[in-house]
């Protein structure tokens, strides 16, 4: 039994090691988490203010937005400058960042402009800046909001010849009421990560005097010089620019909601300045933040993380605007969405989404389309694989979607999630909204505070919804592209710096990478040759300058122009008014090289009124100056702001000509667009790049079936079995696997146990089962020694620790005759093989000659031992056989009965001493193995050969001989 405990102890030891390893791994993971991670439970927990508390103060973001209204925030002792130790002059006060909002005795820092003049928020400080009215208040459905006024010192009207840098006296040309950092949802932190947004609880007084932090994104896009100075997971804020608040407005202003671009991985609302557009063109401008990257679009295609959080943020912000914009003098029934790239695609998705399509009245999609393959991920396996690659990058388990999401939610900081970037083979646009039509979503009772409908965004593709007429039939659509949309793919490729020259080898390599990245499995070589043929300039195919231009055209057509053209045609089929333009002019002040003079989102400088604003409003990396803008830049800025505001107000960008330019509506079969070159030099053209757009939207899908980006998965996808057949199959597979493992373990344990047993019983020990009496031969041991050995066997039989029994054979059970059994002991002097061979010979002899002995209950079993070199066994059966002489030692008779006459010979009697010894000996019924008591056997084996006669006895229970070491037991 010892070996069993030995193996059980080993198993317990292995299990203990595994448990300790898991505990140590969890401890190390917990110690390596970012201590600044706001979403880590137990660290920097935020106690939400209760409006019913007597000491209730203003709602804050990042623990820094508390404060009371200060009529004169600069103080009587510090006119025109900041109090000592307050930001932004000098070094930032550490208390500003270490302020505890739950400590009522803590010093309250002034947020935003209340701490002093902020040039990035208010522009350049002038002589009369501190004397002008500053504060403005608006009461919304969520509470009172405090904003401030920004004054404009330039006029975008081309008829105005006044410029600030031409005069020594600055004149106020306009004003705008600004409200920055208004929360439209609860912070998506703690349990809110990877979940839809929730409505905000409200406040008493919100000091909306500073931008909210940008959502987490790669750090290479952030920094003070790039305009993003603060980044946090608590980022769901919007900004409102209104021409005028309060009473006295004859008609509500149209509302223009700007959704920033950035391929769903970068960007912020504070990068778009809406002051000029709002103050001079009488519209209310709203800019908003939404979650980006993995925090906004992580999707496992099941209930653990369905995805679409970023686009759901946009939908909630749009609902907030619809419910509260009237307090800012905005018209809730005239909401226009506009934005570049991902912003334009998001506008198209919100236009058809069930929860927002009745809110959106107009859409201006700048270089973006909801039909682009990067705008909506329709293949759930593509979204799953992107999530798995992210998990591998961040060191999370990808065995199941639950483990992956739980690791990313509780074990990784928003810095890690926001800064994670994929290798090129993963894809150009890895993140985006997901079509949630083929996977389950959490129910109403899954999470407290979230309902099932909160997770739903789109169950059908935009194309299907538009063809079915499931959108606002009164929608109006405007779109446009530039002639070098994808130039930033080349300018951001550091391997091409500083000359950015492309050769044919680079072009062919990029085309092959594109074919490999997409699901061109039917004919990849044919697709490669088709793309190469379409974008090769055959008059001079080795011209590097033209190769670069053609490469930019390839990516521009693929990602921007073809999807825009497809959306225009689809809306024209539904009789939707559509206006289109192609921007073929540049910002002359930027002095860009010729190959990227008209890049993506060129409209940004024109729509923000950059030529008319203080340079302090813009990031320093732009290196803008007042005197750098040309007349064409100012005219184009005025043109875009005028046409965009006209479209938001009338649904027509040019109800009358603007600087000699006029839009014409596009029609099915005649797609008219305004080719914008320069002011007074633009014209209406037809059918922009139809051959190239049809190549991507018509030809390739026909050849390959479907254009779906996919990437080689690093491992097999997980999936949750839903069908009964799947559940049964996998259940049986797992059960069979564990059963096989159990059988293998049992076989190994049995084999080891048998080896231990073989080592323990390494000698051939055969003991009489009935404890028969011992007989001493003439030369051997005396009566006393035989009696002592018999008693020793009786004691061992009584204590019986190891008992081995074999089932008797059928012949033994049928026989009721009394037969003598022989106790066989293998002498230590005999070899193991010789002992077993002798015993088997005797057993086989007994079985072959004992048939007649067993059939007769009264028959005797005579045994004769001849001196002629063999042992003869006789009976009423067949003729007796001879046993070799060397086997006499194993078949030596140990007990005998009184001798009777055999046949006609007179009977012989044994000596009295022997009979007395035999009659006085005890019998044992249980065999006891013994490897040491070989003295008697050795003595008997050396005795002379004597013939004993056996007479018939009454029928008794046959006695058995126990045979060890694999030898079967048989009555001898």
Burial 897-932 (b: 16+ CB within 10 A, else e): bebeebeeeeeeebeeebeebbeebeebebbbbeee
The CATH architecture to which 94-482+494-704 belongs is 3-Layer(aba) Sandwich (3.40)
The answer on pLDDT for 649 being more than 70 is: yes
What gap in Å lies between CA 945 and CA 941, rounded to an integer?
9
Report which DSSP code applies to 434.
B
Model pLDDT, residue 165: 64
The answer on pLDDT for 140 being more than 90 is: yes
The H-assigned helical ranges of 325-461 are 342-352, 380-393, 401-410, 414-419
Q: Are strands 578-583 and 476-482 parallel, antiparallel or unpaired?
A: parallel
Distance between start and end Cα atoms, the chain: 32
Identify whether the C-beta of residue 796 lies closer than 8 Å to the C-beta of residue 959.
no
pLDDT digits (tens, 9 = 90+) for 154-196: 888 877 766 766 666 678 889 999 999 999 999 999 889 999 9
- In whole angstroms, what separates CA 418 from the centre of its chain? 15
φ and ψ of 92, to 5 deg: -60, 140
Identify which has the larger pLDDT, 218 or 56: 218
The answer on pLDDT for 900 being more than 80 is: no
Q: Are strands 766-768 and 961-963 parallel, antiparallel or unpaired?
A: antiparallel
CA atoms within 13 A on the CB side of 197: 33
Model pLDDT, residue 113: 86
Average pLDDT of span 712-726: 50
Identify which has the larger pLDDT, 847 or 150: 150
Lowest mean pLDDT of 300-304, 422-426, 543-547, 910-914, name the range. Answer: 910-914
Residue among 255, 432, 414 nearest 338 (CA): 255
Model pLDDT, residue 906: 42
Most confident of 34-43, 320-329, 396-405: 320-329
What gap in Å lies between CA 536 and CA 554, rounded to an integer?
10
Identify which has the larger pLDDT, 970 or 15: 15
Average pLDDT of span 847-868: 42
Residue among 579, 580, 357 nearest 473 (CA): 357
Unique residue bearing structure tokens 């998990």: 391
- In whole angstroms, what separates CA 350 from the centre of its chain? 27
Model pLDDT, residue 565: 96
Average pLDDT of span 804-821: 46
What gap in Å lies between CA 309 and CA 286, rounded to an integer?
20
CA atoms within 13 A on the CB side of 133: 8
Model pLDDT, residue 970: 44
| High-pLDDT (> 70) share of the chain, % | 63
pLDDT digits (tens, 9 = 90+) for 295-305: 999 999 888 99
All residues at 6 or more sequence positions from 213 whose CB lies less than 8 Å from its CB, including other chains: 61, 62, 230, 231, 232, 234, 235, 237
Average pLDDT of span 324-333: 95
pLDDT band, residue 967 (cuts 50/70/90): very low
Cis peptide before 498 (omega within 30 of 0): yes
Identify whether the C-beta of residue 776 lies closer than 8 Å to the C-beta of residue 782.
yes
pLDDT band, residue 704 (cuts 50/70/90): low
Three-state SS for 36-105 is CCCCCCCCCCCCCCCCCCCCCCCCCCCCCCCCCCCCCCCCCCCCCCCCCCCCCCCCCCHHHHHCCCCCCC
The answer on pLDDT for 730 being more than 60 is: yes
Average pLDDT of span 694-702: 88
The answer on pLDDT for 496 being more than 50 is: yes
Average pLDDT of span 730-738: 86
What is the CB neighbour count within 10 angstroms for residue 455? 22
Tell me the domain boundaries of the chain.
94-482+494-704, 721-760, 765-963
What is the CB neighbour count within 10 angstroms for residue 37? 19
pLDDT digits (tens, 9 = 90+) for 529-556: 999 999 999 999 999 999 999 999 999 9
Q: Quick check: helix, strand or coil at residue 183?
A: strand
What gap in Å lies between CA 452 and CA 440, rounded to an integer?
10
pLDDT digits (tens, 9 = 90+) for 559-614: 999 999 999 999 999 999 999 999 999 998 888 999 999 999 999 999 999 999 98
Model pLDDT, residue 129: 86
Average pLDDT of span 755-776: 56
The H-assigned helical ranges of 165-214 are none
Model pLDDT, residue 731: 82
Average pLDDT of span 369-377: 93
Model pLDDT, residue 128: 83
Average pLDDT of span 677-698: 89
Burial 274-297 (b: 16+ CB within 10 A, else e): bbbbbbbbbbbbbbbbbbbbbbbb
The answer on pLDDT for 814 being more than 80 is: no
CA torsion sign, 852 to 856 to 857 to 859?
Answer: negative
Q: Are strands 863-865 and 870-873 parallel, antiparallel or unpaired?
A: antiparallel
Model pLDDT, residue 660: 86
All residues at 6 or more sequence positions from 230 whose CB lies less than 8 Å from its CB, including other chains: 62, 211, 212, 213, 214
Most confident of 8-17, 943-952, 960-969: 8-17
pLDDT, averaged across the chain: 74
- The pTM assigned to this predicted structure is 0.67
What gap in Å lies between CA 686 and CA 666, rounded to an integer?
9
What gap in Å lies between CA 877 and CA 188, rounded to an integer?
100
Identify whether the C-beta of residue 778 lies closer than 8 Å to the C-beta of residue 914.
no
Model pLDDT, residue 78: 35
What gap in Å lies between CA 178 and CA 121, rounded to an integer?
9
Identify which has the larger pLDDT, 782 or 388: 388
What gap in Å lies between CA 219 and CA 419, rounded to an integer?
6
What gap in Å lies between CA 290 and CA 288, rounded to an integer?
7
| C-alpha to C-alpha distances, 435 to 302, 347, 380, nearest whole angstrom | 12, 16, 8
What is the phi-psi region of residue 932: left when phi exceeds 0, alpha when psi lies from -120 to 50, beta otherwise?
Answer: alpha
Cis peptide before 88 (omega within 30 of 0): yes
Rounded to a whole number of angstroms, the CA Rg of the chain reads 49
Unique residue bearing structure tokens 């014209």: 683
Identify whether the C-beta of residue 76 lies closer than 8 Å to the C-beta of residue 106.
no
Which structure tokens are listed for 950? 């056996």
Which structure tokens are listed for 913? 């001493």
Which structure tokens are listed for 52? 């019913």
Model pLDDT, residue 664: 94
Identify whether the C-beta of residue 317 lies closer than 8 Å to the C-beta of residue 238.
yes
pLDDT digits (tens, 9 = 90+) for 191-216: 899 999 999 999 999 999 999 999 99
Model pLDDT, residue 521: 57
pLDDT digits (tens, 9 = 90+) for 111-132: 888 888 888 899 888 888 888 8
From the number of C-beta atoms within 10 Å of its C-beta (0-12, 13-18, 19+), residue 190 rates as middle
Model pLDDT, residue 678: 79
Which structure tokens are listed for 202? 């409200």
The answer on pLDDT for 454 being more than 60 is: yes
Identify any residues that bridge with 672 across adjacent strands, giving them in sequence order: 686
CA atoms within 13 A on the CB side of 628: 13
Q: Are strands 205-207 and 143-152 parallel, antiparallel or unpaired?
A: parallel
The answer on pLDDT for 947 being more than 90 is: no
The H-assigned helical ranges of 71-167 are 94-98, 119-122
What gap in Å lies between CA 273 and CA 637, rounded to an integer?
13
Which structure tokens are listed for 319? 């609902």
CA atoms within 13 A on the CB side of 506: 18
Identify whether the C-beta of residue 328 lies closer than 8 Å to the C-beta of residue 240.
yes
Q: How many residues does the chain have?
A: 972
CA atoms within 13 A on the CB side of 295: 36
φ and ψ of 191, to 5 deg: -75, -10
- In whole angstroms, what separates CA 621 from the centre of its chain? 37
């Amino acid at each position: 039994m010892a070996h069993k405990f030995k193996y059980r102890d080993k198993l317990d030891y292995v299990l203990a090691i595994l448990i300790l390893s898991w505990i140590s791994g969890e401890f190390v993971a917990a110690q390596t988490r970012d201590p600044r991670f706001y979403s880590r439970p137990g660290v920097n927990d935020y106690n939400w203010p209760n409006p019913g508390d007597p000491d209730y103060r203003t709602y804050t973001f990042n623990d820094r937005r508390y404060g009371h209204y200060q009529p004169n925030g600069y103080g009587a002792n510090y006119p025109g400058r900041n109090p000592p130790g307050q930001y932004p002059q000098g070094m930032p006060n550490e208390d500003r960042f270490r302020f505890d909002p739950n400590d009522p005795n803590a010093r309250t820092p002034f947020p935003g402009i209340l701490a002093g003049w902020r040039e990035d928020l208010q522009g350049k400080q002038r002589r009369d800046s501190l004397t002008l009215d500053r504060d403005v208040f608006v009461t919304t459905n969520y509470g009172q909001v405090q904003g401030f006024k920004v004054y404009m010192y330039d006029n975008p009207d081309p008829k105005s010849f006044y410029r600030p840098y031409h005069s020594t006296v600055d004149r106020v040309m306009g004003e705008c009421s600004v409200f920055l950092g208004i929360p439209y949802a609860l912070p998506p932190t703690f349990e809110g990560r990877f979940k839809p947004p929730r409505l905000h609880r409200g406040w008493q007084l919100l000091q909306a005097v500073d931008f909210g932090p940008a959502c987490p994104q790669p750090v290479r896009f952030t920094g003070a010089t790039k305009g993003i100075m603060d980044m946090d997971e608590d980022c769901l804020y919007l900004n409102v620019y209104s021409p005028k608040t309060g009473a006295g407005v004859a008609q509500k202003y149209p509302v223009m909601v700007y959704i920033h671009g950035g391929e769903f991985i970068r960007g912020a609302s504070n990068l778009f300045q809406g002051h000029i557009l709002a103050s001079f063109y009488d519209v209310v401008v709203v800019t908003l933040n939404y979650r980006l990257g993995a925090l906004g679009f992580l999707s496992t295609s099941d209930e653990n993380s369905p995805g679409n959080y970023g686009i759901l943020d946009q939908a909630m912000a749009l609902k907030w605007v619809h419910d509260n914009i009237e307090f800012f003098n905005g018209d809730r029934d005239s909401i226009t969405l506009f934005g570049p790239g991902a912003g334009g695609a998001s506008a198209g998705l919100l236009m058809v989404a069930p929860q927002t399509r009745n809110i959106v009245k107009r859409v201006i999609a700048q270089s973006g389309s909801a039909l682009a393959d990067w705008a909506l991920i329709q293949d759930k396996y593509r979204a799953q694989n992107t999530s798995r690659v992210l998990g591998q990058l961040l060191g999370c388990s990808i065995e199941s979607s639950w483990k992956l999401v739980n690791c990313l939610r509780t074990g990784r900081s928003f810095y890690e999630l926001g800064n994670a970037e994929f290798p090129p083979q993963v894809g150009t646009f890895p993140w985006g909204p997901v079509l949630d039509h083929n996977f389950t979503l959490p129910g109403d009772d899954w999470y407290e505070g979230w309902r099932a409908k909160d997770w739903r965004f789109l169950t059908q593709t935009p194309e299907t919804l538009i063809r079915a007429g499931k959108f606002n039939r009164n929608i109006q659509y405007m779109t446009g592209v530039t002639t070098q949309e994808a130039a930033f793919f080349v300018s951001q490729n550091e391997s091409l710096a500083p000359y950015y020259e492309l050769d044919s080898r680079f072009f062919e390599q990029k085309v092959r990478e594109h074919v490999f990245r997409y699901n061109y499995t039917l004919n990849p070589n044919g697709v490669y040759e088709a793309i190469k043929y379409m974008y090769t300039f055959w008059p001079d195919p080795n011209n590097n300058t033209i190769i670069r231009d053609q490469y930019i055209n390839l990516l521009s057509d693929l990602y921007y122009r073809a999807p825009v053209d497809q959306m225009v045609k689809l809306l024209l089929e539904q009789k939707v008014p559509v206006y289109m333009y192609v921007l073929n002019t540049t910002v002359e002040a930027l002095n860009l090289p010729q190959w990227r003079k008209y890049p993506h989102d060129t409209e940004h400088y024109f729509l923000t009124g950059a030529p008319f604003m203080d340079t302090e409003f813009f990031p320093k990396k732009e290196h803008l100056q007042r005197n750098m803008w040309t007349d064409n830049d100012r005219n184009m800025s005025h043109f875009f702001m005028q046409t965009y505001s006209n479209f938001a107000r009338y649904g027509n960008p040019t109800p009358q000509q603007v600087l000699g330019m006029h839009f014409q509506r596009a029609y099915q079969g005649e797609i008219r667009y305004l080719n914008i070159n320069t002011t007074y030099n633009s014209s209406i053209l037809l059918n922009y790049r139809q051959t190239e757009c049809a190549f991507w939207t018509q030809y390739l899908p026909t050849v390959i079936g479907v254009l779906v980006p996919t990437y080689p998965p690093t491992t097999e996808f997980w999936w949750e079995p839903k069908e009964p057949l799947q559940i049964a199959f996998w259940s049986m597979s797992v059960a069979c696997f564990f059963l096989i493992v159990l059988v293998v373990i049992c076989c190994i344990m049995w084999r080891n146990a048998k080896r231990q047993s073989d080592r323990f019983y390494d000698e051939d020990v055969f003991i009489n089962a009935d404890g028969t009496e011992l007989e001493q031969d003439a030369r051997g041991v005396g009566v006393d020694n035989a009696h002592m050995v018999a008693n020793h066997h009786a004691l061992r039989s009584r204590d019986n620790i190891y008992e081995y029994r074999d089932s008797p054979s059928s012949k033994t059970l049928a026989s009721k005759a009394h037969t003598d059994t022989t106790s066989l002991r293998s002498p230590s002097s005999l070899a193991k093989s010789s002992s077993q061979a002798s015993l088997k010979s005797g057993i086989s002899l007994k079985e072959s000659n004992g048939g007649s002995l067993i059939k007769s209950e009264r028959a005797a079993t005579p045994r004769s031992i001849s001196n002629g070199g063999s042992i003869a066994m006789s009976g009423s059966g067949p003729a007796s056989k001879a046993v070799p002489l060397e086997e006499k030692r194993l078949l030596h008779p140990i007990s005998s009965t009184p001798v009777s006459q055999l046949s006609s010979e007179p009977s012989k009697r044994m000596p009295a001493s022997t009979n007395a010894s035999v009659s006085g000996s005890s019998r044992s019924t249980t065999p006891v193995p013994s490897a040491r008591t070989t003295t008697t056997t050795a003595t008997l084996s050396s005795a002379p050969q004597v013939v004993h006669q056996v007479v018939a006895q009454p029928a008794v229970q046959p006695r058995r001989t126990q045979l060890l070491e694999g030898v079967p037991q048989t009555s001898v």
